[in-house]
Amino acid sequence: MRILVTGGAGFLGSHLSTLLLQSGHSVICMDNLITGRVENIAHLLGHERFSFVKYNVCDYLHIEGPLEAVMHFASPASPQDYLEFPIATLKVGALGTHKALGLAKAKGARFLLASTSEVYGDPLVSPQPESYWGNVNPISPRGVYDEAKRFAEALTMAYHRYHAVDTRIVRIFNTFGPHMRPNDGRVVSNFIVQALQGKPLSVFGDGSQTRSFCYVDDLVRGITELLFLGSDKTVEQRTDRKFLVTRNEGADEFSMHDPVNLGNPRELTVLEIAKLILELTGSSSHITYHPLPADDPKVRRPDISRARSLLKWEPLVELEDALRRTVEYFRKAI
């Protein structure tokens, strides 16, 4: 396949581009480098099946030649980033998704949207299944990310239903690993960098809020499984409108087009994560407590029953091993 990855120089996009190249595909990486970094794709530059385009996906989007897939990963994705770039976050969720879907439609390409567990907001249900509609404050500061992704999901399903675009939606839960920025404001990277630098680990609230952390290698493996699911599909015509009908043994008829949670269902408190990182780094740093940000989710744990059934996927890398790998990355990066 020849595949466009928007946000391809970001944390997830760079790992995804690497895996796709290793699997024999050609990758066009597009990124405006607001939060992405050329360093993340430096090892790919010069590869005969890889090209990088510095570009804002919210602008007119055109790619010469055929495309078999468009993977839309462009967006600020950490609280620090989308609080700093609220309008850009909303624009890439709306305009950027519209442009990327339009390109997929024009090329007859499969489209995969990187959505987020943030669409569940501060959930009242745990673990969170894809059928849960969420508990979101749309006007809170962090609501820009929630609502951008919720709109992007709605637009993706509209293109699937109205234009018969072959779509996938992945709802990504907390993920960590190499290529995270040291100062990106995410829990794991914050704690590791603070521990390695001998600074206090900043816990917000009392640390009892929970998160479920997935290693990046597991996550991108699941994403590619979802992208290529149903490649030998049967396309039929419905009487009322052109529509993709997928025959997928062991799954209901349209399930591959519905959102799929990807994440690690192992749930820990933020305080437990902080203590584990102190242990793994051997740091003498202590923990300090700070006010909890507005609308910060109290629980976050994916129900991955659909991923297990549909993709035969579940995370394989143990949390402690994944943290050790990430600690070693940051030892060299900072």
Edge-first strand order for the sheet with 26-31 is: 50-54, 26-31, 2-6, 69-72, 110-116, 167-172, 259-262
327 domain-assigned: no
**Mean pLDDT of the 309-331 span:** 97
Determine whether 60 is an active site residue.
no
- Given a cut of 70, whether residue 250 has pLDDT beyond it is no
- CA separation for the pair 191, 183 (Å, rounded): 10
Q: Quote the pLDDT of residue 295.
A: 84
Give the CATH number, domain containing residue 76. 3.40.50.720
- Given a cut of 80, whether residue 237 has pLDDT beyond it is no
**Mean pLDDT of the 26-41 span:** 98
Each residue's pLDDT tens digit, 130-167: 999 999 999 999 999 999 999 999 999 999 999 999 99
190 domain-assigned: no
Count of domains forming the chain:
1
- Given a cut of 60, whether residue 242 has pLDDT beyond it is no
Q: Quote the pLDDT of residue 240.
A: 34
pTM: 0.93
Residue 12 sits in which domain range? 2-179+213-265+301-316
50 domain-assigned: yes
Q: Quote the pLDDT of residue 255.
A: 64
326 domain-assigned: no
116 domain-assigned: yes
Given 120, 145, 159, 215, the catalytic residue: 145
Q: Quote the pLDDT of residue 114.
A: 98
**Mean pLDDT of the 106-122 span:** 97
275 domain-assigned: no
**Mean pLDDT of the 190-212 span:** 96
Look at the chain and count its residues. Answer: 334
324 domain-assigned: no
Least confident range of 240-244, 261-265, 267-271: 240-244
331 domain-assigned: no
